[in-house]
Structure 1
């Protein structure tokens, strides 16, 4: 036992929140009461203890330091209050002043723990933070006063922890603090204020609770006399389990960090620094294992196998094995014999692992993954080790299942974003419709209503980014490639006719020259099919057959045969491939831009955004009250979106312009916006899995949208859309005036060059009176 006194928080040694005096009177009074009630042999011990104290309950105390110089008296108190069979080295017990801080007598275990340098900041930061410690002391005093004098219980939380870093294991230990206040008397110095629980109830569970009580019940009104008994309970296992539960409940995006937190808590749970853990979820795609290196990052087997390039193979083998035979496997040592039988053990052995265990983890009776237990020393997997993990397994199962669901959610999100028209802004409508069908599956009368998903009175925004002269560029690239192939074929046929004269070569030469004449003009789709048929079926077969019969001509014909044999990759497709690469660069840049930019649009107001792949990219935006009924829609939101539309066109044009220097083929884009100020209705078409306009009047909007991409100016001098410019098509002067305000804003920011073109457009079939604004983009800024 330790008779050396010390402070739990030495910085607050002289901080007296309330007058409190060390006294054994309450203890002696309680002992006297127990002696009168006790009829067993315990009564003799109580009498023995009482005999040591003076009849008035006093002991010799040095008031200046509250240090008791009668160690035997303290030992008698410890013997009275502690279990008879509990060893002193196993007990974390201490006797302190009424407000627990100054410890006067304690077990060696308590003293060593509290004075250790390994004490860490706990969840409550009780020891590390002086202000927090002082606040908890105040709460302790008020909790005692309210319970004893007012009968209020369960006021403030009393769940305090010490966190101790064990220097031997390097692992945290957690201890719950219990303070026994049985032997404390409270004296009221003056008049005790009346207090209704309802008055203070709302303040007791927040940070202001102590301050409120300090105004109502100043601690100067009270005096505490007696002593408190502090005991610590090792709750490391419970705390580790709670940490795992909190980690799983924490909605973090970083799965790797989440797994590291859980694995750290598992190590704490075992209280063995030599034992380590790995976790591996079993991901499936279309009912087949799906290997994802990021999800495997916390598996020692996967990390070891990755170094040898067999991680994916190992993963598939592991998943297939444990789905068929999900049994725990224990390797106390990784002998050469076992390594030959289990191929993956060699990678573990090379990583320094000496023992390894795989424990399958189930969620709702289906395997969700595995937990690995391993060590760099040979380890016998005693029942004690596994029993410590028993309460953690259900939480590990939930963690692995969460990873599986996270993986599936990511897949669904990509599918919804990239491949279907269903978006978060309109998801609620589909949810309601689906729920109505689930709730009333037999209500055939409303079946038509259930299937019709319509949004009324929405405002459309349409934009198109087109690759200029893409058809002409394609035809030119095709002509260049075919001309190159035909010239090579002509050269080869002439050489063969020189080496092995035949009428057949002359016939092929004649056909080749005719096709060259056709290529000089223009090549349509029909011509392209016939030319390819001639090159592959007629000329190609003839040359291949002749080479087999005359190996000496191999050097002459091999280049041509190789050229036409490679499907869309060889020299016969050089110009077309350059063009396709350039177009892919443009479309990828535009798509990536809108994938990010549309989030800005959704922040303005929830809307439906859909883009289409053409030679460039087209998009539709629909916004209105019916899409987001809970958020009031105003015209100001529409104005912000139209400004966004013009701004995005400038940014896209700049983006594609700066690609020119890196593109294998020089392609430029045109930008078109159609202004339609009237609202329309849209409905979801189940056959095409997309929204479309509804009603005869609304369809007119769709017709105009499809016809303006190649519209000419009224004088027929040129097409409206031009590289380096943005064209805005409109009907009314009001629409033009609104757009001019946006144009001037961007011109003031040097995004657009000065000047606005006001243009009249040619008549289109069924469309009269179209006009346009056209502005030039500043590529220098």
Structure 2
């Protein structure tokens, strides 16, 4: 018997059979002899135990009188139903349970005789519910609290069963003790609005201030399947986690529904675009797939390893295999059956999850026991399939939204500063579309905005690229020539001299300037002439080692040497990635100055455009002070990017220098979102001058010389007006004071460009002293970041 009477209760509990005894006394006075005699004899048996009537506080009274209590309660607990009913005497919400039916005893015994705890039922809830009982019974209130109460009890096989708790309180009476406060209607109204305020309930109903006298009857109803389905719904509906999360909870629910202790579950998601099965995104508790096993994705034609289970794909049907070992004996099923047996699967069910004839995925139920899963209990899936369909459909929708968000962010991003205008236009479309009216999208234009352009460019990137291509091609040709000259078994072939001559000719061509088609010509020649020759030549063991070493040096895709170019490409990628990271990180601070439109591009370096003005952020008052602040921010950020490059140079796999450029343009312009290109561009012929200058300025020379205006390790600021020069010289002086820029300043005129005249420039070097370079990198750290 559970004997855990809560001390934290408004009740002083007296277990009493007084109402039942009063009923027996009435029967004893009746004219029905057998009923009257039975009642009299029972009353005589209990008359020496006055506590049965006055109230029992010592549990030993119950323990010592089990048989007598069983006889007293015989009308309420018929012997003929003891193996069927799950019933006992109990005090509501408390762990006081005795006089259990045999079925009740068996359930508890199979669970290990552990105490029964009500699911999700706290001490605070118990206190408040006990008080609600008082309000309804004594104060004639009608508070409705119908939260279903459950016991979760494992059976002998470990399958968790769920039992709904029903209470009968006909034999209980509730009345106040001497120290119980009397409640007014205002007190009751206050309690009505404060269910979760347990301190208030304890104030109005102090501990043991009320008497609960009598006994209740608890009846359990096996609601395992219904409760498990409800739990599954709750689990699947949680938006803060995917359906695959918490595998143990999900498997426990399925085990309860199917009553199979070793049941495991898997999910394969169907990708209709690529006709593939994929796993759910991985996390430490994610549900896997028994079909895909260790593969993250698999073509539909291969998913069943040659087994003909097209009914799932074509008919959206359920496939059940009650005995995998027998299934394996059917021709055509051997590979799939062996795959299941390797995973200790002896019976299984695979069912299609489809919505409106669209396949979303496959639910996989498996067991290590033959015949546990079969076509009969497969019907249990019909009870939960609608919830799984809704969940996977929601998951598919969320996944598409995430994919769309990634595409927007990484490929066609709409910057947060202008998102409001696109959102407003989209809202107009939705509103008009709802009324079936035609809608013409309004062009997104921002007028009177001030542009800022800057770049950090990798110097001579095309020349470096050509040099590394030539270096790799020369190395490969020299390796091939060495093979032909040093080979003992291959050199006997007549064609050898011809091939050696052609290889020498191509090698000599590489000493000249690299032409656009040179690489392609050499690649085609090696692929079509040399490699077939080497693959078909009969070589001895020494020559075979020579050939193997050569082929191991080839890039898998191009079949060319990729050594010098790899170092160059990695250096380019590292510089671009690190420069973009500095810029993106500094943008957080820049947006705090004043919200503005920002975009950057990675080419042979990193370029960025900024547009600031009242039309982009109409909710805030714009002042030219914000433009000046942003210009200083831009200059400081390029200084940081230059310093970052200095830190990188010592560990880059290929030495590359950079130069920086700022274009100052003080006239406001308009920008328009080009629907065809999905990007912003300047609007109108007048504003086009800005774009012309941007495209031509970085290749310009100092007027009257052949010297480029940009130089390595320096920042060049190009401008048109005297007041722009004055403004930037102030910024430079400030950064020189901060020991960021070197003291020497160069000023010069820029050569006339087509349609652009009168440009001037300031050039200044960033101070790359040890004091400024306060952090270092290793090459391994850079590669880890890159990959």
TM-score using structure 2 length: 0.72
Matched, 1:385 2:381: no
Q: Give the aligned partner of residue 781 of structure 2.
A: none
Name which of 237, 241, 245 aligns with 1:249. 237
Matched, 1:194 2:188: no
**In 2: Cα distance, 1:639 partner to 1:77 partner:** 94
**In 2: Cα distance, 1:142 partner to 1:454 partner:** 65
Matched, 1:265 2:259: no
Name which of 178, 182, 203 aligns with 2:166. 178
* Superposed displacement of residue 634, structure 1: 9.7
Q: How does 1:411-422 map to 2 (within 5 A)?
A: 411-422=403-414
Matched, 1:374 2:362: no
Matched, 1:137 2:130: no
Q: Give the aligned partner of residue 75 of structure 1.
A: 70
Alpha carbons 1:670, 1:724 under 8 Å: kept: yes
Say which is worse superposed, 392-401 or 46-55, in terms of deviation.
46-55
Give the 3 Å change call, closer, same or farther, for CA 291–780 of structure 1 in structure 2: same
Q: Give the aligned partner of residue 22 of structure 1.
A: 15
Give the 3 Å change call, closer, same or farther, for CA 23–339 of structure 1 in structure 2: same
Q: Give the aligned partner of residue 326 of structure 1.
A: 316
Give the 3 Å change call, closer, same or farther, for CA 534–457 of structure 1 in structure 2: closer
Say which is worse superposed, 451-460 or 271-280, in terms of deviation.
451-460
Give the 3 Å change call, closer, same or farther, for CA 238–567 of structure 1 in structure 2: closer
**In 2: Cα distance, 1:121 partner to 1:682 partner:** 71
* Superposed displacement of residue 281, structure 1: 1.7
* Superposed displacement of residue 249, structure 1: 2.1
**In 2: Cα distance, 1:284 partner to 1:119 partner:** 50
* Superposed displacement of residue 391, structure 1: 1.7
Give the 3 Å change call, closer, same or farther, for CA 767–705 of structure 1 in structure 2: farther
Matched, 1:465 2:456: yes
Matched, 1:688 2:656: no
Alpha carbons 2:162, 2:222 under 8 Å: kept: yes
2:52 is paired with a residue of what secondary structure?
A: coil
* Superposed displacement of residue 204, structure 1: 3.1
Q: How does 1:228-627 map to 2 (within 5 A)?
A: 228-252=216-240, 256-258=244-246, 261-285=249-273, 288-289=275-276, 291=278, 294=281, 298-303=288-293, 313-314=302-303, 322-333=312-323, 334-335=325-326, 336-338=328-330, 340-341=332-333, 343-379=335-371, 381=373, 385-422=377-414, 426-427=418-419, 429-437=421-429, 439-440=431-432, 450-456=441-447, 460=451, 462-474=453-465, 476-477=467-468, 519=512, 528-529=516-517, 569=558, 579-590=568-579, 608-622=597-611
**In 2: Cα distance, 1:406 partner to 1:439 partner:** 23
Q: Deviations over 1:186-243 (max 9, x none)?
A: 223477321248832664343x1x2223334545653332223333333332332233
Alpha carbons 1:711, 1:761 under 8 Å: kept: no
Give the 3 Å change call, closer, same or farther, for CA 352–19 of structure 1 in structure 2: closer
**In 1: Cα distance, 2:318 partner to 2:444 partner:** 51
Give the 3 Å change call, closer, same or farther, for CA 119–6 of structure 1 in structure 2: closer
* Superposed displacement of residue 685, structure 1: 0.3
Give the 3 Å change call, closer, same or farther, for CA 753–650 of structure 1 in structure 2: closer
Give the 3 Å change call, closer, same or farther, for CA 153–759 of structure 1 in structure 2: farther
**In 2: Cα distance, 1:187 partner to 1:567 partner:** 88
**In 2: Cα distance, 1:737 partner to 1:80 partner:** 103
Give the 3 Å change call, closer, same or farther, for CA 176–294 of structure 1 in structure 2: same
- Identify unmatched segments of 5+ residues in structure 2: 484-492, 538-542, 776-787
**In 1: Cα distance, 2:114 partner to 2:622 partner:** 57
* Superposed displacement of residue 146, structure 1: 1.7
**In 2: Cα distance, 1:201 partner to 1:476 partner:** 84
Alpha carbons 1:120, 1:165 under 8 Å: kept: no
2:185 is paired with a residue of what secondary structure?
A: coil
**In 1: Cα distance, 2:450 partner to 2:304 partner:** 51
Q: Deviations over 1:389-430 (max 9, x none)?
A: 332222222333344334434433333233324456655544
* Superposed displacement of residue 452, structure 1: 0.5
* Superposed displacement of residue 692, structure 1: 1.8
**In 2: Cα distance, 1:111 partner to 1:64 partner:** 24
Name which of 2, 9, 18 aligns with 1:6. 2
Give the 3 Å change call, closer, same or farther, for CA 773–470 of structure 1 in structure 2: same
Give the 3 Å change call, closer, same or farther, for CA 542–669 of structure 1 in structure 2: closer
2:330 is paired with a residue of what secondary structure?
A: helix
Q: Deviations over 1:716-760 (max 9, x none)?
A: 796564444555667647964895799599x6xxxx746566554
Name which of 143, 149, 153 aligns with 1:164. 153
Give the 3 Å change call, closer, same or farther, for CA 202–666 of structure 1 in structure 2: farther
Alpha carbons 1:146, 1:152 under 8 Å: kept: yes
Alpha carbons 2:452, 2:610 under 8 Å: kept: yes
Give the 3 Å change call, closer, same or farther, for CA 214–338 of structure 1 in structure 2: same
2:749 is paired with a residue of what secondary structure?
A: coil
Q: State the Cα RMSD in Å.
A: 5.7
Say which is worse superposed, 19-28 or 117-126, in terms of deviation.
117-126
1:247 is paired with a residue of what secondary structure?
A: helix
**In 2: Cα distance, 1:16 partner to 1:474 partner:** 82
**In 2: Cα distance, 1:99 partner to 1:444 partner:** 58
Q: Give the aligned partner of residue 779 of structure 1.
A: 773
* Superposed displacement of residue 619, structure 1: 2.6
**In 2: Cα distance, 1:542 partner to 1:219 partner:** 95
More helix by share: 1
Give the 3 Å change call, closer, same or farther, for CA 508–119 of structure 1 in structure 2: closer
2:130 is paired with a residue of what secondary structure?
A: helix
**In 1: Cα distance, 2:597 partner to 2:158 partner:** 55
* Superposed displacement of residue 688, structure 1: 1.4
Give the 3 Å change call, closer, same or farther, for CA 510–44 of structure 1 in structure 2: closer
Alpha carbons 1:425, 1:628 under 8 Å: kept: yes
Say which is worse superposed, 71-80 or 640-649, in terms of deviation.
640-649
**In 1: Cα distance, 2:620 partner to 2:235 partner:** 34
Give the 3 Å change call, closer, same or farther, for CA 154–596 of structure 1 in structure 2: farther
Give the 3 Å change call, closer, same or farther, for CA 732–355 of structure 1 in structure 2: same
- Equivalenced residue count is 722
**In 1: Cα distance, 2:625 partner to 2:229 partner:** 52
